[in-house]
A and B are shown apart, each in its own frame.
Chain A
Amino acid sequence: MATVEKAPPAQAARFPSPFDVATPPGCEGWRDMYPYYYVFSEDRREFEEGKLWFHDGMHHPEPLYPFDTITSESWWIALGQYNSRVFIVPPALGIDQRVLNGYLYISANAITDGAVVGKRVDFFKKRAGYYYEHWNELYAKWEKKATDTIRELQAISVPDLPEMEDEAVVTEGRGVTSAYHVIAAYDRCIENMYKMWQLHFEFLNLGYAAYLTFYGFCKQAFPDIADQTIAKMVSGIDVMLFRPDDELKRLAKLAVDLGVSSAFADGRTPDQVLADLGKTEPGRKWTADLEKTKDPWFYFSYGAGFYHHHRSWVDNAQLPFSSLRSYIVRLGRGEDIARPSAAVKKERDRIIAEYQALLGTDEDRKAFGDMLNLARTVFPFVENHNFYVEHWHHTIFWNKMREFARLLMKNGFFADAEDMFYLHRREVYDALYDLVASWAVGTPARGPKYWPPVVAKRKAIITKLYDWQPPSALGPTPDVITEPFTIMLWGITTERVKDWLTPRAAAGVAKELRGAAGSPGVAEGPARVVLSVDQLAAVEDGEILICPITAPSWVPVFARIKGAVSDIGGIMCHAAIVSREYGLPAVVGTGFATKTIKTGQRVRVDGNTGVVTILS
């Protein structure tokens, strides 16, 4: 269960050394955007050159804005500590991180000394055993902790710095002022973010370990069984990530029942629809329901939630409203728009029963049942944690940060509030301190002179870094990859790494792309390359969606497409999960699909074998 890093044979193919990758022209000084510990450095060269690093295109496909490293830096600690210091996972420590030319590279830390591993086993059994045994009750506690943490964040108010403090500061003898509150609010937001990421990983590593145990047994008992079939056996039916779409269906039905469907006429913006609805009593009733539904179900990111510019349905209701419209139209045609949950569940139960019956002995049937039960016990967390953390919490977090950004902008630190994200979170702390001090003492802050040129330079660098293609991996090639996160989440397998090394996979030339078989079935159709959320509206019925990565909030689009292909992702990635739910073929983790395929080309998606063929 660890990435194997061994010195490669003399002539073995290897990826470039991180020290040999040139800085793209115009990006000189990119290192200054990141903390000293976060970049490859000469003083750790020997260590850093000795291991395989791969680009985490799954969670951080874009260059990292300095502020946005708060997500990667948070999971760096959170994931690692639960393996290394909490549950004492026998053969695995954490996953290390470095930034190269603005892109995040990660590397699993394995323990290869059998004696050390052996010593860790007893601790692991005791600690992990406790969690597995009390999973449901601990998970219930987790849901409360997560919700409380989100509510705490929501409750933090970002004060203004008034010309004169309110008289109440005096009459109530408060003793602290806006100066303190600004700094403290920022600290509390940052701490809240750290805490949410601690919670993110409280169960996740153990969840994947249980899943991989069942996965490994299935692969042993039924060699070549499709990964997605194993996932299907474990998957839940009422997954939180499907809930926002389910809520839209419910709201669509409510609109029909209340007789307000006409407000959703084609071509209207959400604001126009809402204005129209506000004119009638039934319309206001619908709007009231929408408002109630929004928290939390519209705190649903268009992206993965990892970047400040991953906005949500609450920020931009275009997509949910266009879905509402299409659901209303379908209801008008008398269609059943509900998810076929009963059929999905029945099929899942049939698959489980048939596989179990195929095993040769009672012992194996029992083991299969026990492992499956454990995997299914842990899976609700695995499936739902993203909603709490990356969607619900992060939507609020990024918007909270915008409040600080506006405060700084108002005081001349930035021309545009979004500029703040070109500062690292500790630089923002400094800027706020600068501002608060200037407010307190009544002298001009240095920030308005200091930060605009820094932001301008960084903007230019990041714009250029977007055009740079990060190598899939750096360093020596491993013989075999067994680290669970690497395989399950990032879709990085031994085969995939070999594939990266073959020249035919280079961007722009391949007729055929290989990835992980994410969801079974075969489909052919015209391709629609979608690089960002605002291009989603262009997707037409029957097209094959080609995207870098999908987000759960894209779900409504899955009702229109015939198949999906992503650059990034493993079998448990979102695109794969949703495609299975919708019965669409999907190939994920192809690496180059959006660079190789053009909109309008005919493509064939084979979700059974993981092959995408360009037909025209």
Chain B
Amino acid sequence: MPTQPYILRARDWAPEARSLVGGKLASLGELIQAGARVPPWFAVTTYAYERTLEHNGLLDTIRRAMAALDVSDQTSLEVASLCARKLIEGHSFPADLEEQLHEAYEALAKEIDVPDLAVAVRSSATAEDAADASFAGQQETYLWIRGRRSVARHVLRCWSSLYTPQAISYRARLGLAPDAGSMSVGVQQMVDARVAGVMFTLNPSNGDLSKIGIEASWGLGVSVVGGEVTPDRYWVDKVTLEILKRTISPKAMEYRQAADGGMVRVPVAAERQDVPCLSDEEVVELARLAKAIEAGYGSPRDIEWAIDARLPFPDNVLLLQCRPETVWSNRAPTPLVAPKADPLDYVTDRMLAGLRDMTRS
């Protein structure tokens, strides 16, 4: 077997690398392949995880801790978890990995010329593929991480999250070994979201596949995802990419990046509240990306996106996450009209339908 990489850059991603980067990063890779522009990222691979454990001789210790565990006993679970996580977080990387991680982080910062670039550090477990969304959600994500030391520390914390009590008991429930699974960590440039939101490649209210719906509000996307604001809503024709409808709503609050790296909920100045938060060209660019992504996957998608305040158009239009649409996509379509041998019958039907509408009203 050839030597495995510690670090996998976004541009080197290929479907074969799935086991090296875990489920979450694999879907990010697919997103790029489907035509998306995403915030620059790299993966610290599962190989890096395994080598680090090996390098520090942790494998046996963790296995022993797991072997002594009674998953039905909450205290025992927490003790084992604490023990494993402390072990992982308390050690350091092999020197060559540390150097490569450092280099990769500097390269990311250079891409947009920001020193101490803020990044999101996210876990991406290999067991995720088989797991349901709630399990995926239990893995850690750290936002607004700056500086190489802090990035390295949070990579370790992500790895250790493989041993949260929830993760351990989840594996037990599935009948997996307590130390099963490996974990990759994604390091992704943090978006400085001027505007963010979600979009869907069909009309969720009627399943109309010819529309792309976009919901947008000021600041980070959590306000839209969490339903804390009534977002601006745009409807775009998927075929012609024309904006069909704009509904601009008052947007009274937004989430912004705080000085300490966290998020703060702040009021939106009165003069910005009723202003459309997207320009027409941004709307069309988002729709164009959504259409490309849907075509890449071959089925309707829900997509999270953001507009980065630091970048020029169209580089500022970034996609963050993408999920398959499940409501309409799982329904069997029914024909709208009964097929006719003679096209004239469509004409007659349409005329009489007019009359039916008339007598109803």
Instruction: Mark A residues whose CB is within 8 Å of B.
Output: 1-2, 4, 89-92, 110, 112, 114, 117, 121, 124-125, 128-129, 132, 209-210, 212-213, 216-217, 220-226, 229, 351, 354-355, 358-361, 363-364, 366-367, 370-371, 373-374, 479-480, 482, 520-522, 608-609
Whether B240 contacts A371 by the Cβ 8 Å rule is no
Q: Is the CB of A1 within 8 A of B351?
A: yes
**Chain B, Cβ-Cβ closest to A220:** B336
Encode B347-359 as 1/0 by CB contact (under 8 A) with A.
1101111110111
Known contacts A479-B361, A522-B280; is-contact A90 B245 (Cβ 8 Å): no
Is the Cβ of A360 less than 8 Å from the Cβ of B333? yes
Given contacts A90-B352, A609-B244, 12 further A-B contacts (CB under 8 A): A2-B355, A112-B355, A129-B344, A213-B350, A216-B353, A217-B337, A217-B350, A221-B208, A221-B210, A355-B239, A367-B340, A608-B244
Q: Taking the nearest CB of chain B, how far is it from the CB of A319, in angstroms?
A: 32
Verify A91–B350 contact, CB threshold 8 A. no
B227 within 8 A of A: no
Cα(A227)–Cα(B348), bound, Å: 21
Q: How many Å lie between the Cα of A110 and that of B354 in the bound state?
A: 11
A2 interface neighbour in B238, B246, B343, B358, Cβ under 8 Å? B358
Cβ of B337: which chain A residues have Cβ within 8 Å of it?
217, 363-364, 367
Q: Which residues of B contact A479 (CB under 8 A)?
A: 361
Tell me whether A371 and B346 are in contact in the complex, defined as CB-CB below 8 angstroms, given that A91-B354, A482-B354 are known contacts.
yes
**Inter-chain contact total with CB atoms closer than 8 Å:** 142
8 Å CB contacts to A: which residues of B243-268?
A: 243-246
Give CA–CA (A359, B337) in the complex, Å: 11
Please name the residue on chain A nearest to B335 by beta carbon: A363
Contact across chains for B237 and A358 when beta carbons are under 8 A apart: no
| Subset of 30 A-B contacts with CB under 8 Å | A1-B351, A2-B354, A4-B361, A89-B351, A90-B351, A90-B352, A90-B355, A91-B352, A91-B358, A92-B351, A112-B359, A121-B352, A129-B342, A129-B344, A212-B350, A221-B210, A224-B211, A224-B245, A225-B237, A358-B239, A359-B336, A360-B335, A363-B335, A363-B337, A367-B346, A480-B358, A480-B361, A482-B358, A608-B242, A608-B243
Asked if B2 CB lies within 8 Å of chain A CBs, one says no
- Interface residues in B307-361 by Cβ distance below 8 A to A read 333-340, 342-348, 350-355, 357-359, 361
Report the separation of the CA atoms of residues A361 and B337 in the bound assembly, to the nearest whole angstrom: 10
- A220 to B350 alpha-carbon distance, docked (Å): 11
Partner of A91 from B239, B345, B351 at Cβ < 8 Å: B351
Check if B235 is an interface residue, CB within 8 A of chain A.
yes
Give chain B's interface residue range (CB within 8 Å of chain A).
35 or more
Of all chain A residues, the one with the shortest Cβ separation from B361 is: A479
Q: How far is the CB of A138 from chain B (nearest CB, A)?
A: 15
* Bound-complex Cα distance A222 to B339 (A): 18
Contact, CB under 8 Å: B348 / A125: yes
From A209, A216, A223, A354, give the contact of B206 (CB < 8 A).
Answer: A223
Question: Residue on A with the closest CB to B338?
Answer: A363
CB atoms of B358 and A374 under 8 A apart = no
> A370–B343 contact, CB under 8 A?
yes
Q: Is the CB of B348 within 8 A of A121?
A: yes
B225 interface residue per 8 A CB criterion: no
Interface residue? B71 (CB, 8 A): no
- With A361-B334, A364-B335, A367-B337 as known contacts, state yes or no: A520 contacts B346, CB within 8 Å: no
- Given known A-B contacts A223-B208, A229-B237, A229-B239, A361 and B347 have beta carbons under 8 A apart: no
**B residues adjacent to A (C-beta < 8 A):** 203, 206, 208-211, 235, 237-240, 242-246, 280, 333-340, 342-348, 350-355, 357-359, 361
User: In whole Å, how far is B115's beta carbon from the nearest beta carbon of chain A?
Assistant: 40
- B-side contacts of A221, CB under 8 Å: 208, 210, 336
Contact of B350 among A4, A216, A521 (CB under 8 A): A216
- CB-CB under 8 A from B354, the residues of chain A are 1-2, 91, 482
Q: Which residues of the partner chain B approach A608 to less than 8 Å between Cβ atoms?
A: 242-244
| B242 & A226 in contact (Cβ 8 Å cutoff) | yes
Instruction: Say whether B343 contacts A373, CB under 8 Å.
Output: yes
- Determine whether the beta carbon of A360 is less than 8 Å from that of B334: yes
Given A129-B342, A132-B343, A363-B335, the answer on whether A222 and B351 have CB atoms closer than 8 Å is: no
Q: Which residues of A have CB within 8 Å of B243?
A: 608-609
Residues of A within 8 A of B336 (CB): 217, 220-221, 359, 364, 367
Asked if B346 and A229 sit within 8 Å, CB to CB, the answer is no
* Distance between B96 CB and nearest chain A CB, rounded to angstroms: 51
Top 3 A-B residue pairs of the complex, sorted by shortest distance between their CB atoms: A360-B333, A1-B354, A363-B335
Q: Which of B240, B246, B347, B358 contacts A4 (CB 8 A)?
A: B358
* Contact residues in B for A209 (Cβ distance below 8 Å): 347, 350-351
The answer to whether A213 touches B346, judged by C-beta atoms less than 8 angstroms apart, is yes
Shortest beta-carbon distance from B174 to chain A in Å? 37
Q: Among B210, B237, B346, B357, which residue has its beta carbon within 8 angstroms of that of A374?
A: B346
Which residue of B211, B235, B239, B346 is within 8 Å of A217 (Cβ)? B346
Nearest B residue to A232 via CB reads: B240
CB of A132 within 8 A of CB of B239, answer no
* Residues of chain A with a CB closer than 8 A to B343's CB: 132, 370-371, 373-374
Residue of A nearest to B354 (CB): A1
Residues of B contacting A222 with CB < 8 Å?
208, 210-211
* B347 with A229: CB separation less than 8 A: no
Do A226 and B244 touch (CB < 8 A)?
Answer: yes
Contacts of B235 in A (CB 8 A): 224
**Cα A601 to Cα B33 with chains together (Å):** 48
Enumerate chain B residues within 8 angstroms of A129, measured Cβ to Cβ. Answer: 342, 344
Contact B246 A1 (CB under 8 A): no
CA A222 to CA B209, docked complex, whole Å: 8
Q: What is the distance, in angstroms, from B349's C-beta to the closest C-beta of chain A?
A: 8
Which A residues lie within 8 Å of B339 (CB)?
363, 366-367
Q: Are B242 and A370 in contact (CB under 8 A)?
A: no
Q: Report how far A480 CA is from B244 CA in the complex, Å.
A: 23
Residues of A within 8 A of B238 (CB): 354, 358
Query: What's the Cα separation between A355 and B353 when bound, in Å?
Result: 23
Chain B min CB distance to A233 (Å): 10
Q: Nearest B residue to A606 by beta-carbon distance?
A: B243
Separation of A608 and B337 alpha carbons in the complex (Å): 28
